[in-house]
Structure 1
Amino acid sequence: MSAPSRGRGTGPTHGRPSPYGALHRALRLLEAVDRHPHGVGTAELARELGLPPAAVRELAETLECEGYLLLDEAVWVLGGALTLLGQHNREQLVRARLHRKLADLRDELGAAVYFSRYHDGELSVEAVSATEEAPAVQEWADFRATAHASAIGKCLLGQLDDDGRRDHLARHPAAPLTARTITDAEQLLHRLDRQPATVPVLDLQEYALGTVCAAVPVTAGSTVGCLATSMPVQSAYRLRAAAELLAERAAPLMVAMAV
């Protein structure tokens, strides 16, 4: 005899309502209320969710009892319980939002995307979104030691002051990775000085042969970060447009990372 299904369908199971269906509707309701920072009425929620107003009100009242919603002058707003969840689990919530944003951007670009930071003197790739159709670049040389050769690294170094850049290059000397790699520290520093903040940083097979990359700065609070993409050299003709899209998406990404 086969095991019972554990799928996440919202329909009835053996004549009984699936608990996943109620959970799904509750989450969609909370998301709908969250889209209305000044509150939203039951009728409008019902239209957005495609549910009967009576069902929406019953579900909203249940969430109100648990502190997740609040009825304020005939409109629903998020309750204090969600605020507490955000405070207790802020890091997980921010990371989840970040991964969703990166996945959306990956699908839009048709290429792998990365979010990286420069923290405590080191480069760190914080999140990567890739698929078989949009593969990430293979880390054949430690990203932390090859900032001089990658779009990510140069974008992050470009946001440091001269002392910070020189300190990094003193600890991680510029080694040749391909014939295109800049290994002269002064030449690299000169290029970083001349790089406009509004122009994406490119890596045209400097880190790895067969791969091109682009990166743009992302600043959120004290974060020195960047948003980047990589693609096969055969798709290099798409890199400029991809870099422009990265720049457009940098601001929404900062919002996703906000408290």
Structure 2
Amino acid sequence: MARGGEPTLITSVQRALRLLEAVSEQPSGTTAKHLSRRTGIALPTTYHLLRTLVHEGYLEKLDDGAFIIGEQVAGLHSAAQGQGLRSRVRSVMTQLRDELNAAVYLAHYRDGEVVVTDIVDSPRMPRVDTWADFKQAAHATAIGKCLLSGLSRAERADHFDRYPPADLTPRTITRIRDLIESPEHPVVADTEEYSLGTACLAAPVLGADSPMTLAISFPARKLAAASFEAPLRVAAGEISRKLAVAGEFPTAG
């Protein structure tokens, strides 16, 4: 840190960013001389920075000598949009956690597997102990049941062919026919089927290319005494609307 509490800034980085901004303002591209005049950066320094930015893919130099934005910037823009959507969705999850005092989960059914992509919990309400892999325990979790409800009966049957239901607790439902033909519900429940003492509720999130769900877990004793369904459905609907505006939810590699 510099004196007076001000941050130490790297001048060359500042200049490079100013050049990127100046190039972005010219849809047809622009020359080094124009950029030098536009930014107030000395021409030799401008050339040096432009060569570096071209080498790294953040700018592209055309045959006529003009510079335009490069593919690396497009990649950053796409990543920023995805991260922005993740941040907005996570904000909804955090609000739901605080409102219900419950751990909150976001999950997808992707490439034939249950994948939990985000969890928001707290020391007061920690996430459920995943002693059994969610991929193999879809039959016993509200998350899995909700995701599977978004599939066809044939797809559900295929899932259970690959992951035969097993008893995880005395309350686990393992009858294949019941699992495949279970009717759809706006909110799916798991009452101590995955873990004794823990209940889970899940609601579908619409707008994704594959089944997606928002879920909460909490002590099973609270299920009868508290109304969790309405806030959960409201939060799932809010995430659905964000997806409708922004597009498909970004997924890791």
Task: Write out per-residue CA displacement over residues 122-169 of structure 1, whole angstroms, 9 at most, x where no aligned residue.
Answer: 000110000011111100100010000100110011110011100000
1:251 aligns with 237
Give the TM-score, by structure 1 length. Answer: 0.64
Report the count of equivalent residues. Answer: 186
Equivalent of residue 179 in structure 1, options 167, 170, 183 = 170
Aligned in 2, Cα 1:133/1:189: closer, same or farther, shift over 3 Å? same
Q: Pairwise mapping of residues 86-165 of structure 1 onto structure 2 (< 5 A)?
A: 86-165=77-156
Task: Write out per-residue CA displacement over residues 57-92 of structure 1, whole angstroms, 9 at most, x where no aligned residue.
Answer: xxxxxxx98979xxxxxxxxxxxxxx9654243332
Deviation at 1:248, TM superposition (A): 1.1
Equivalent of residue 208 in structure 1, options 184, 195, 198 = 195
Structural RMSD (CA) = 2.6
Give the conservation status (yes or no) of the 8 Å contact 1:112–1:229.
yes
Give the TM-score, by structure 2 length. Answer: 0.66
Amino acid aligned to 1:243:
E
Distance 1:215 1:171 in 2: 23
Aligned in 2, Cα 1:103/1:167: closer, same or farther, shift over 3 Å? same
Aligned in 2, Cα 1:66/1:128: closer, same or farther, shift over 3 Å? farther
* Structure 1 unaligned spans of 5+: 5-12, 21-63, 69-82
Identity %: 37
Equivalent of residue 217 in structure 2, options 230, 249, 258 = 230
Amino acid aligned to 2:154:
D
Deviation at 1:99, TM superposition (A): 1.9
Work out which of the two has the higher radius of gyration on C-alpha atoms and give 1 or 2. Answer: 2
Distance 1:19 1:243 in 2: 47
Aligned in 2, Cα 1:105/1:14: closer, same or farther, shift over 3 Å? same
* Structure 2 unaligned spans of 5+: 9-20, 26-72, 248-253
Give the conservation status (yes or no) of the 8 Å contact 2:147–2:213.
yes
Q: Is 1:195 the equivalent of 2:181?
A: no
